[in-house]
Amino acid sequence: MVRAAIFSGLLVCISGIAVLTLNVAERIAEGATANRDSGHWTLSQTEVELMALDVAIHEAQDAAPDQHAAYAEVRRRFDIFYSRIVTISTSDLHTELSANESFLDNFQKIKVFLFNAVRDIDGENAALAAALPDLQSQVLALRPSVRAMALAGLSTLARTTASAREQVEQTLTLVAALTVVSMLTLLAMVAVLLRMDAVNRTRRIEIEASAAHMAAIVATAQDAVVTMDGRHRITSFNMRAEQMFGLPAVRAIGANAADLLLPANQRSALRRIIDEVASHDPGQETRRQRLLALNRQGTIFPVELSISAADRPGPRLLVAFLRDLTAEVAAEENLLKARDRALAGERAKAELLAVMSHEIRTPLNGLLGTIELLGLTRLTRKQRDYVHILESAGNVLLQHVNDVLEISRHDNRQVPSVSEPVNLARLAHDVIDNQAATAAQQGSRLVLDLPATARCTVVSDMRLLKQVLLNLVGNAVKFTRNGTITLRIRHLGPDGPTEFSVQDTGIGIAPQDLLRIFDDFVTLDTSYARPQGGTGLGLGIARRAVAQLGGTLTAESRPGQGSTFRFSLALPLLGPVQDQPPRPGRLSQAGQTPALDVLMIEDNANNRLVLREMLTHLGHRVTEAEDGAQGLIAAAQRRYDLILMDISMPNMDGLQATGVLRGQPGPNAATPIIALTAHALPDEQERFRAAGMADVLIKPISMTQLDDVLHRVCTASVAVGDDPGQSLTDAIMARRRPAFIAEAEDLLARIAALAAEPDANDQTCALVHRLAGSASLFGADRLATRLALIETHFKTGNPAAARTEIADLPWCWQHTKCDLINSDAPPGTVG
Amino acid sequence: MFRLISSGGQKLLKVVITGLAFIASFATGALAETPLPPLVTEPMLAITGLDESRFADGTLLLDSGRLAAIDTTRLTTTTPWTEGPHEFTGVRLAALIDFLGLSDGVLVAYALNDYSVEIPVSEAAPDGPIIAYAIDGQPMTVRSRGPLWVIYPFDQNPDYRSEVTYTRSIWQMNRLEVRP
């Protein structure tokens, strides 16, 4: 816009000047030469010369005829006049004046006179003398004509002069006007240029400010800012870059970026990145990359590079930001190390617990077992009292050990929750029965509040649930005297959760203690000082167990009025179920089991003693073996009804021996083997079962336990198979199948995902174990067997084999699922 | 010297010397030393005010023959007073000035009709005005603005087309007066 104005202004000026120049040149050319001689002089001289002729004629008339001079003078004056007229007629003047009619007429008259007079003039003197009077009168008559001609010529000349002057005036005016216009245009252009200059100045200031702003940003940036052109040459290098690389900017600028800043093995990577970014449109591609950089001292350090092409016209400009990651990488490594340490610590702790558990249990077994045996002997009253004290103290100690172990297992997530059918009514009754005696001793009453529908079965973990309820009810009993303890189970809505609550009318808990009581090792001081103090872990275990089951344990209390402990669980209902005969009570049923020939393989002498005494007391025959090898020798010699196999033995442990027994033909290849172990972990128990053991006895072993197991094992060997799935009706099975299928698929997916991670073996194994339980529950025996095999692989330290098997699971599952969906058949026939 | 040479030799010598002198006079351009032919016709131009050491009474009379002897130049040009170009024959003013031995000053020219004008000697450029006595080969009568007309080469040099020059283009000139 401005440019157009300037150019048009320039054009006006130039054309104006051209016109001016042409015009002026014309005028100059005109003025340079005089067109003609002075017209005024010529015209007036004509009159003068005529008058001179007149005078000459006059004088000649007065002179004597022999006065030749006078006639010469007449002739001369005539010639002069004549030549004047001739000159006028041939001159430019004539051309100019010929426009005037008066001039022409009079001029014609003069020419006529001359023409007539010539004859006389050129004649002899005598003829001339005679013609003189006539000439005189002619001249006299001519004088007005000459005058008129002169005047006419004058007026024409005046007009001509005037018009010439006007032309000059016009030209000068034009010159002036064009000059003014040119001047104005030039001034306008100057004004425009000045304004442009001012604008440019302002812009320049703005640009400088902006550039300074940018420069300040780049200079103070915490990242290194390196710019380069499309040929990888560095074009700028900010202060942070200088610091980072130990290079002054002057050295960096112009150098090849990859060669200067990176070690040799990283250079091609950077070059590739730069080329990729450079080949895209600006602003479209930003590449980030972790690289190793090299500084002047030769130190290699990690950097994060972020590079993109700048969006501006002109040659390619690439901008790279480099962040020194040394600190971050170090922090990452520290974090990893800390994590590894923590994990290692966790593992160590778990191992410690496992080991400690074993180490403590083993002597406890000896202790408690012996105390029990002692109790069977004949004792004095005082001795019996002492035995009671020993027994209760021993049990407390055992309880403590169990509690601590339980807490640590919960915390180390080693407590898998099982999904099995649980009859809530029966469970509740068991709990009440358990605590009835103790409550009676306190003068308190136990009340069970169940809705009619509580007679149904839910899917949950019986052990955990029982543990929680026992704990809560036990606490309630402990802290209530002559009061009422109510165990309440309620279903909230048809599909709602199940609420469990234990309410007592005991001493209550102060508000400031309500939160504290859940903390580990916290017991509240009570006026009912009991010989049995608590470890303070009971509520901690209960809380963890409830959390494991999927709920939250809460407490409410009013000091002096009582407390209520509550939790809700989402327990899927299995529908009403037939009552099952209650399980056998705790009381010993000595003598129910027929006398057995028992082979005991145990390395610990004390334990052997205790066990032998117990077995003998129960009426069985015992053969002892001190270790695995001896046990095998004994087993090869004759058939036994039962083998009690200690697990932890030197040289050959129980599992190995079992494996040998089961693997080789011999008299005891099919003899039921019961594991004796201090390892209380259910996973371990599963291991034993998988190895071919019928059951597990956990040390310390009580006689009652021993009797139970013996009874169970021996009757079970006659029974078809202790498949808990058979106790469910077909209807329940059918109803629960979809849920199982969903659960199984979920677990399989998780197993498959975890199987890929080498660190997750324990988790994978736990999931496999859980699924195995559910699978056998729903009669998917083949699947369950497979899962058990996988579990064994994990536990025998062969994760590779386990993974191979896991890889086959989907195929196996497809078949199982197919069968499950298509089948309404009774359990046991499902593959 | 003359006595030693024979009469024939003397004649020859005179001729040679005259010839040499003549040539020498051309070489030095001292046309002044060369005598003019005697007057034949009525003198048409009288020059006065000359150096009395060279010219009797400071006066020189020139007729057409004498004028022709000084210089004969032909000039074709148009003039404001004639129609079309004409060929003028005459004496270059520069030649006349040289002949008269003038270097500065003014020539006052007088005409038959009592017109007079001053022509500075500096006007006498080699390619400047001529004093014409013939037009188109014909001698100029008084009626045809003779006997003498100072003609400037108007066509050859447009600078001469000015008012001042026109006043100096005196016709019917018959007398020149030299003024310092």
Ranked by mean pLDDT, the top range of A295-299, A421-425, B32-36, B130-134 is B130-134
Top residue of A37, A44, A50 to mutate, by most chain B CBs within 10 Å, is A37
Q: Are strands A317-324 and A300-309 parallel, antiparallel or unpaired?
A: antiparallel
B81 contact residues in A (CB cutoff 8 A):
37, 87, 90-91
pLDDT digits (tens, 9 = 90+) for A251-308: 889 999 888 889 988 888 888 888 888 887 776 778 888 888 888 888 899 999 998 8
A44 to chain B, any CB pair closer than 8 A? The answer is no
Confidence label for A531 from pLDDT (cuts 50, 70 and 90): very low
Give A498-524 as a 3 state SS string. EEEEEEECCCCCCHHHCCHHHCCCCCC
Confidence label for A441 from pLDDT (cuts 50, 70 and 90): confident
Rounded Cα distance between A400 and A536, Å, is 10
B78 contact residues in A (CB cutoff 8 A):
none
Same domain, B6 and B89: no
Nearest to B91, CA basis, from B60, B113, B117: B60
Nearest to A90, CA basis, from B82, B48, B178, B72: B82
CB A404 within 8 A of CB A541: no
A84 contact residues in B (CB cutoff 8 A):
113
A34 contact residues in B (CB cutoff 8 A):
80, 161-163, 166
Rounded Cα distance between A543 and A452, Å, is 28
List alpha helices for chain B, DSSP H. 7-28, 64-70, 93-100, 163-168
Residue A409 has pLDDT above 60, yes or no: yes
The DSSP output letter for B38 is P
What is the predicted pLDDT for the residue at B18? Answer: 60
A33 contact residues in B (CB cutoff 8 A):
158, 161-162
What is the predicted pLDDT for the residue at A339? Answer: 93
CA distance A34 to chain B (A): 5
CA distance A3 to chain B (A): 47
Residue A827 has pLDDT above 70, yes or no: no
Strands of the A498-504 sheet, one edge to the other: A445-449, A484-491, A498-504, A562-569, A554-558
CA distance B82 to chain A (A): 5
B162 contact residues in A (CB cutoff 8 A):
33-34
Q: Which residue has the higher pLDDT, A725 or A594?
A: A594
Q: Are strands A498-504 and A457-460 parallel, antiparallel or unpaired?
A: unpaired
Same domain, B20 and B109: no
Q: What tokens were used for B41? A: 């016709």
Residue A171 has pLDDT above 50, yes or no: yes
Residue in chain B lying closest to A77 (CA)? B113
pLDDT digits (tens, 9 = 90+) for A733-752: 666 777 788 888 888 888 88
Confidence label for A722 from pLDDT (cuts 50, 70 and 90): very low
Nearest to A239, CA basis, from A256, A255, A226, A258: A226
Beta bridge partners of residue B109, listed in sequence order: B117, B176
Same domain, B49 and B121: yes
Same domain, B46 and B85: yes
Same domain, B22 and B96: no
- Residue in the block written with tokens 């999927």: A550
Q: Which of A324-328, A349-353, A741-745 has the lowest mean pLDDT?
A: A349-353
pLDDT digits (tens, 9 = 90+) for A583-633: 444 444 444 567 888 999 998 888 888 888 888 888 888 999 988 888 888
Confidence label for A553 from pLDDT (cuts 50, 70 and 90): very high
pLDDT over 70 percentage in chain A:
90
Mean pLDDT across A745-769: 83
A111 to chain B, any CB pair closer than 8 A? The answer is no
Encoded amino acid at A812, one letter: C
The backbone torsions φ and ψ at residue A446, rounded to the nearest 5 degrees and listed phi first, read -100, 130
A80 contact residues in B (CB cutoff 8 A):
112-113, 142, 172
Nearest-by-Cβ selection for B81 from A49, A82, A90 = A90
Residue A331 has pLDDT above 80, yes or no: yes
Which residues span the domain enclosing B2?
Answer: 1-35
Confidence label for B90 from pLDDT (cuts 50, 70 and 90): very high
Residue A52 has pLDDT above 50, yes or no: yes
Rounded Cα distance between A561 and A503, Å, is 11
Q: Give all strands (DSSP E) within A579-668, no chain letters.
A: 597-601, 621-625, 642-646
Confidence label for A204 from pLDDT (cuts 50, 70 and 90): very high
A91 contact residues in B (CB cutoff 8 A):
80-82
Same domain, B43 and B129: yes
Mean pLDDT across A325-339: 92
What is the predicted pLDDT for the residue at A511? Answer: 87
Same domain, B78 and B2: no
Residue A344 has pLDDT above 80, yes or no: yes
Same domain, B62 and B113: yes
Q: Which fold has domain A221-324?
A: Beta-Lactamase (3.30.450)
Nearest to A645, CA basis, from A633, A636, A654: A654
What is the predicted pLDDT for the residue at A190? Answer: 87
CB B90 within 8 A of CB B73: yes
Residue in chain B lying closest to A122 (CA)? B143
Tell if the CB–CB gap between B112 and A90 is shorter than 8 Å.
no
CA distance A137 to chain B (A): 22
Q: Which fold has domain A418-575?
A: Heat Shock Protein 90 (3.30.565)
pLDDT digits (tens, 9 = 90+) for A775-791: 877 778 778 888 888 88
Q: Which CATH number fits domain A334-408: 3.30.499.10, 1.10.287.130, 3.30.360.10, 3.30.230.10?
A: 1.10.287.130
User: In whole angstroms, how far apart are CA A333 and each of A336, A346, B11?
Assistant: 5, 19, 144
B171 contact residues in A (CB cutoff 8 A):
83, 87
Nearest to A238, CA basis, from A217, A259, A258: A217
Task: With residue A213 as reference, give the H or E element that holds it.
Answer: helix A125-220
Q: Which of A388-392, B28-32, B56-60 has the lowest mean pLDDT?
A: B28-32
Chain B residues interacting with chain A (CB cutoff of 8 angstroms): 80-83, 112-113, 115, 141-145, 158, 161-163, 166-167, 169, 171-172
CA distance B157 to chain A (A): 11
Same domain, B75 and B164: yes
Residue in chain B lying closest to A51 (CA)? B113
Nearest-by-Cβ selection for A80 from B80, B83, B112 = B112
Residue A822 has pLDDT above 90, yes or no: no
Count other C-beta atoms under 10 Å from residue A405's C-beta. 19
B145 contact residues in A (CB cutoff 8 A):
83, 86-87
What is the predicted pLDDT for the residue at B16? Answer: 64
What is the predicted pLDDT for the residue at A564? Answer: 94
CA distance A170 to chain B (A): 23
Residue A490 has pLDDT above 80, yes or no: yes
A114 to chain B, any CB pair closer than 8 A? The answer is no
B168 contact residues in A (CB cutoff 8 A):
none
Residue A538 has pLDDT above 70, yes or no: yes
Residue A828 has pLDDT above 60, yes or no: no
Q: Which CATH superfamily is domain A597-723 in?
A: Response regulator (3.40.50.2300)
What is the predicted pLDDT for the residue at A694? Answer: 82
CA dihedral A583, A588, A589, A590 (to 10 degrees): 160
Residue A35 has pLDDT above 80, yes or no: no
What is the predicted pLDDT for the residue at B23? Answer: 57
Rounded Cα distance between A778 and A730, Å, is 10
Residue A723 has pLDDT above 50, yes or no: no
Same domain, B66 and B102: yes
A49 contact residues in B (CB cutoff 8 A):
113
CA distance B161 to chain A (A): 5
Residue in chain A lying closest to B173 (CA)? A80
CA distance B162 to chain A (A): 5
Cα-to-chain-centroid distance, residue A559 = 53
Q: Which residues 6+ apart lie within 8 Å of B73 measured at CB?
A: B89, B90, B91, B92, B95, B130
Q: Which of A419-423, A432-436, A655-659, B102-106 has the lowest mean pLDDT?
A: A419-423
Same domain, B102 and B20: no
Q: Write the CATH number for B166.
A: 3.90.420.10
Contacts A–B by Cβ distance under 8 A: 57
Residue A731 has pLDDT above 80, yes or no: no
Same domain, B5 and B81: no
What is the predicted pLDDT for the residue at A809? Answer: 83
Top residue of B113, B170, B171 to mutate, by most chain A CBs within 10 Å, is B113
Give chain A's mean pLDDT.
82
CA distance A46 to chain B (A): 11
- Number of domains present in the structure of chain B: 2
Tell if the CB–CB gap between B143 and A83 is shorter than 8 Å.
yes
Residue A712 has pLDDT above 90, yes or no: no
